[in-house]
Amino acid sequence: AEPYNHSTALQPVHNNNDTHFSHGRRANATFVFLCRNSDLNGVVSSIVSMEDRFNRAYSYPWVFLNDEEFTEEFKQRVRVLTDAPMSFGVIPREHWVQPDWIDENRARQGRMKLMNQRVIYGGSIPYRNMCRFNSGFFFQHELLQPYRYYWRVEPNVKFFCGLDYDPFLYMEEHDKVYSFTISLLEHQPTVPTLWDSVKEFISEYPYFIEPENAMNFISDDGGEKYNLCHWWSNFEIADMDFWRGEAYTKFFEFLEAKGGFYYERWGDAPVHSIAAALFARKDQIHFFRDIGYRHEDFQHCPSGIQWSAGRCACDPKDTFDYSQASCLPRFEGLFQ
């Protein structure tokens, strides 16, 4: 019998000459997927969701990053899912592990304290490595150097809606630097001194603060206190040149020197959010209302015309937008 020919079988879906799938101009962009070999099944599930609902028509590349080598099995099982280019990278050790200058006794006390308070990942060192890497290092990885925009994807997430436009190009054409689908409140015990550091940074580097900033998203009193609002960073479409720029580079170095990624449990979500809110114009931050997205335990589901036009596979009543712990009203308040 004829051997099954994969390249022929897949052609109709990936044929860019087919008018249905032809979209012309593309952005300089990639998906970024930080994960472990053990995340494999959840990784496969997220890729399938993204490919089926969006990337089938665009073939944007995928970059997978890991603190150790991906196994052959891992690469095989993700490569089989799409013809989009894929690359697999190892993170340099110094971008991942707890630095030597961190006082391990103090770090351990910080972990114990959060564990005793039953804070999620309170006692975890790898989780802290991950948060620090996503805050300050992923965009420096060799495999991401060719790209400007990225879409962050995590294991076991769902993309509910079809998209008939390219969100990367949307970012580029509308001068956006950061975007989100869900915003919520951070666990206070993970960031007790983060805002003190931010205030210190602002007084030391006032010229980095954008006059048209989104301070009112992250503070209810003009910058005195942090209100714990942040954009949920497991979904991000953003501009890496913003993270690579002078303001954010200085900001990350400043936070890094405080040791809060290890002494406390500073998340990349509040760190990214605070930076985007202060160093970008508020109109450079975008809510992708039409992108249906789920990461346990929350989801954003579009409604009305966006829900039907997107053929969204989610219950429009099940959306985090205006629930108690959502910060979306504060974001919308910036433009009223």
Q: Which residues bind ligand GDP (CB under 6 A)?
A: 34-36, 39, 66-67, 126, 130, 154-155, 234
Q: Please give the helix or strand (H or E) that residue 112 lies within, else none.
A: helix 104-116
User: Is 154 or 210 the residue whose CB approaches ligand GDP more closely?
Assistant: 154
User: Is 150 or 279 the residue whose CB approaches ligand GDP more closely?
Assistant: 150
Catalytic residue among 172, 186, 236, 264: 236
Q: Please give the helix or strand (H or E) that residue 171 lies within, else none.
A: helix 167-173
Q: How far is the CB of 21 from ligand GDP (least distance, A)?
A: 28
Give φ, ψ of 236 to 5 degrees: -150, 130
Closest CA to 198 of 133, 163, 248, 128: 248
Q: How many CA atoms lie within 13 A of 166 on its CB side?
A: 22
Residues in the interface with Mn ion (CB under 5 A) total 2
The listed partner (ligand GDP, Mn ion, none) that binds 210, CB under 5 to 8 Å by sort, is none
Residue 236 is a catalytic residue: yes
C-alpha dihedral sign at 268, 67, 144, 168:
negative
Contacts of 122 (CB under 8 A, 6+ apart): 111, 113, 114, 115, 116, 189, 190, 265
User: Is 23 or 187 the residue whose CB approaches ligand GDP more closely?
Assistant: 187
Contacts of 299 (CB under 8 A, 6+ apart): 158, 160, 182, 292, 293, 314, 318, 319, 320
Closest CA to 60 of 149, 175, 137: 149
Regarding 154 and contact with Mn ion (CB under 5 A), the answer is yes
Q: Please give the helix or strand (H or E) that residue 250 lies within, else none.
A: helix 246-258
User: Is 235 or 262 the residue whose CB approaches Mn ion more closely?
Assistant: 235
User: Is 191 or 269 the residue whose CB approaches Mn ion more closely?
Assistant: 269
The listed partner (Mn ion, ligand GDP, none) that binds 181, CB under 5 to 8 Å by sort, is none
Regarding 39 and contact with Mn ion (CB under 5 A), the answer is no
Q: How far is the CB of 153 from ligand GDP (least distance, A)?
A: 8
The listed partner (ligand GDP, Mn ion, none) that binds 66, CB under 5 to 8 Å by sort, is ligand GDP
The listed partner (ligand GDP, Mn ion, none) that binds 126, CB under 5 to 8 Å by sort, is ligand GDP
Scan for tokens 């190892």, then name that residue. Answer: 90
Q: How far is the CB of 235 from ligand GDP (least distance, A)?
A: 10
**How many Å apart are CA 329 and CA 317, to the nearest integer?**
17
189-248 positions binding Mn ion, by CB under 5 A: 234
Q: How far is the CB of 295 from Mn ion (least distance, A)?
A: 6
The listed partner (ligand GDP, Mn ion, none) that binds 270, CB under 5 to 8 Å by sort, is none
Contacts to Mn ion by CB under 5 A: 154, 234
> Which are the catalytic amino acids?
236
